[in-house]
Amino acid sequence: MEQKTNSNLRLGMTFMASIFFIFGFITNFNIAMKDQVQLAFTLTNFEAQLVNFSFFIAYAVFSFLCGFIIKKIGYKNGVIAGLVLVAVGSYMFFPAVDQLSYPLFLLAVFVMATGVVFLQTAANPYVAALGPQDTAPARLNLTQALNGVATTIAPFLAGILVLAPAVLAIKGGATPTDAAKFVQMPFVVIGTIVVLIAVGIAFIKLPNITGDETISSKSVFKKPQVWLGAIGIFCYVGAEVGTASQIAPYLKESGFATDVAVKLSAIYWGGAMVGRFYGSILLSTLADSKKYQYSAYVMVFAFFVGWFITSASVADGQFVFDSQPLNGLIFLGIAVANFFLMLLGKGKANVALGIFGTTNMLLIFAAFMLPATIGMWCLLSIGFFNSIMFPNIFSLGVRDLDPSEMPLASGIINTLIVGGAIVPLLIGGVTDAFTARWALLIPIICYGYITFFALKGSKIR
């Protein structure tokens, strides 16, 4: 019986890992489309940013409602509903580009994002409930690590599959409108793959997560840790997206070429991926010897990630590889520091979160004060220390809840992912009014709250 239970849990985790990969890929693939969309529709910078706004605003509109719906239809059906919406949104890109209708394009982004909201609202509490509470952060970090793999490769594939062919077409005499056609096919492929996955999932028997049906879901409204965790997610997503979008302006303001700034920015997401692998290992119940062994493998992986990301690029429509092993070594050094700071957390989600929140505040302050040649690495390092924040904030926010309360709690917390739409706008406004450096004070405030939640707010009941 125990073997069958473990088999069911492994099946559930395998299934959830694929879902996290899907919505991570879709999120960053959309973000990476900004430059191509701006070119195709002849947009201002503000208008082009509406792509990100349309994506993240879906969390504010639907997360809460999704929590109620998933409680009624179950996690599995909630995931299938999310995949169907992602597919519908993907197919909508074809007529939007064909008619060169930017409102229809934004609607397609919004529909796809609504599907992602369903996936995320169902997936996070499902992973948290698939086993003991003490190891929930480790499970969430593992699935978030696979999400990180997807968010790292998505912009690279977008450049190869969409931006590079479009640039070549324009050089060959095509208009931006004709070049926009290259956006269509990748989304048709994404939609088709997602439909096939949804059909497959419909026939898979997944472990059932049930709770005490006598507990009213409305009891969630009286749980302070849920609301404080939701604010933590607002601050985290806002600071993560805002800091990532601020790296290029920070570097350009300091005299770096645009292409160099954009290429270095990619390291930020690679660091988040590496840090999440650490989190899944060090917050697990593995023996210490195994933790150190697997962490050593991650460090080797980190060198190759830093080396490859900063060496590969697309220039004039062609793939270029300019080997930069020094950047790989710097990235490895940051990865080692990340590992030892995570060890200080002693496997406790709130302690590790508090250390990382404090570290990010210090890194941003250093970037504010120091020359850009050093400050840029401080900003790029933040990705590493963002790594465990979402899964740890989420697991602390839903700690001590009954499984029957999880869907609504997840809906409340995921609603405030809208921080990814609001905080970057504030950062952009301060950058326009003052400088990119002064705008960095906003994410410092966000990480300050996260540190408070980790050390104090998560304990309030």
Tens digit of pLDDT for each residue in 102-125? 888 889 889 988 998 888 877 777
pLDDT in tens, 433-456: 888 888 889 999 999 999 999 988
* Distance from C-alpha of 83 to C-alpha of 69, rounded to nearest angstrom: 15
Q: What is the mean pLDDT of residues 227-243?
A: 89
Q: What is the pTM of this model?
A: 0.74
With a pLDDT cut of 70, the percent of the chain lying above it is 72
CB atoms within 10 A of CB 38: 17
How many beta carbons lie within 10 A of that of residue 459, not counting itself?
14
Burial class (CB in 10 A: 0-12, 13-18, 19+), 11: middle
DSSP 120-160: HHHHHHHHHHSS-GGGHHHHHHHHHHHHHHHHHHHHHHHII
What pLDDT was estimated at residue 328?
A: 84
Burial class (CB in 10 A: 0-12, 13-18, 19+), 452: middle
Q: At what angle do helices 288-311 and 258-282 cross, to 10 degrees?
A: 170
Phi/psi at 59 (5° precision): -65, -40
Q: How would DSSP label each residue in 347-369?
A: T-HHHHHHHHHHHHHHHHHHHHH
CA dihedral (279, 402, 354, 152) in degrees, to 10, reads 40
Sign of CA dihedral 68, 119, 459, 423: negative
d(CA 84, CA 79): 9
pLDDT of residue 1: 46
The SS3 of residue 1 is coil
Amino acid at 1: M
- The structure tokens 């957390």 sit at 345
Alpha-carbon distance 88 to 362, whole Å?
43
- What is the structure's pLDDT at 361? 95
Q: Which of 277, 272, 213 is nearest to 239 (CA)?
A: 272
Both tokens assigned to 203: 């026939």
User: Per the structure block, which two tokens stand in for 291?
Assistant: 């933790």
HSE-up (13 A, CA, CB side) for residue 251: 23
Cα–Cα distance measured from residue 360 to residue 419, given in angstroms and rounded to the nearest whole number: 18
Burial class (CB in 10 A: 0-12, 13-18, 19+), 257: exposed
Per mean pLDDT, which of 13-27, 87-101, 439-453 is the most reliable?
439-453
For residue 160, pLDDT over 70 is answered with: no
For the chain, what is the radius of gyration of the CA atoms?
Answer: 21
Contact 402, 215 (CB under 8 A): yes
| Class of the domain covering 2-459 | mainly alpha
Angle in degrees, CA 211, 212, 213, rounded to 5? 105
Rounded to whole angstroms, the Cα distance separating 341 from 362 reads 14
| Per-residue model confidence (pLDDT) at position 338 | 87
Q: Are 284 and 349 in contact (CB under 8 A)?
A: no
DSSP class of 85: H
Confidence of residue 180 (pLDDT cuts 50, 70, 90): low
Which pLDDT tens digit goes with each residue over 49-81? 677 788 888 888 887 788 778 878 877 788 889
Measure the CA–CA gap between 404 and 124, rounded to whole angstroms. 14
Give the whole-angstrom CA distance, residue 156 versus residue 114: 24
Asked if residue 79 lies in contact with residue 201, where contact means CB atoms within 8 angstroms, the answer is: yes
Q: Is residue 173 predicted with pLDDT exceeding 80?
A: no
pLDDT at 339 over 60: yes
pLDDT at position 111: 92
Q: Where are the beta strands (DSSP E) in 138-218?
A: none
Domain ranges of the chain: 2-459
Distance (Å, whole) CA 410 – CA 52: 22
